Amino acid sequence: MADNFNFELVSPERLLLSEMVTEVVIPATDGEMTVMANHAPTMTTIKPGIVSVRFANGSKQDYVVFGGFADILPTGCTLLAESAVIVQDLSKDELTLRIEAAKREIEDAVHHEHKSRLEHYIMELTHLQGVIDQD
């Protein structure tokens, strides 16, 4: 049986979750990452994607995050999300609106680096849209 650790999911609007969990799968920028108790200290950026949380009681809940970063310690993990919501509460329209807003921002972007980041963000949101549509 896996050890428990404290996980907090925080967005600018509110604290979404603060619970004892056995594992959390996060969409780190460099690839999906599973966090468990006694994990090596790590700090990583988060891309838009699904955060899967396995609670100490065995139940599971998925959240959608739109970027941010995670601070991982052996005793816990805090994910500070730019925006986050329970998967079931996310509407297809919201994702479509975020994609359209990013496309409009690309049109006004002056620097190549900014355009490149926006294109990557749109790609991540489009992928997320496909994952959520499958569920």
Are 35 and 2 in contact by the 8 Å Cβ rule? The answer is no
Q: How far apart are CA 1 and CA 22, in angstroms?
A: 9
What is residue 111's predicted lDDT score, i.e. its pLDDT? 87
What is residue 134's predicted lDDT score, i.e. its pLDDT? 62
What is residue 20's predicted lDDT score, i.e. its pLDDT? 95
Burial (0-12, 13-18, 19+ Cβ within 10 Å), 104: exposed
What is residue 127's predicted lDDT score, i.e. its pLDDT? 81
Q: What are the Cα distances from residue 82, in Å, to 33, 85, 102, 112, 134?
A: 18, 11, 15, 23, 24
Per-residue pLDDT of the chain in tens (135 residues, 90 and over written 9): 579 999 999 999 899 999 999 999 999 999 999 999 999 999 999 999 999 999 999 999 999 999 999 999 999 999 999 999 998 888 788 888 888 988 888 888 888 888 888 888 888 888 887 777 765
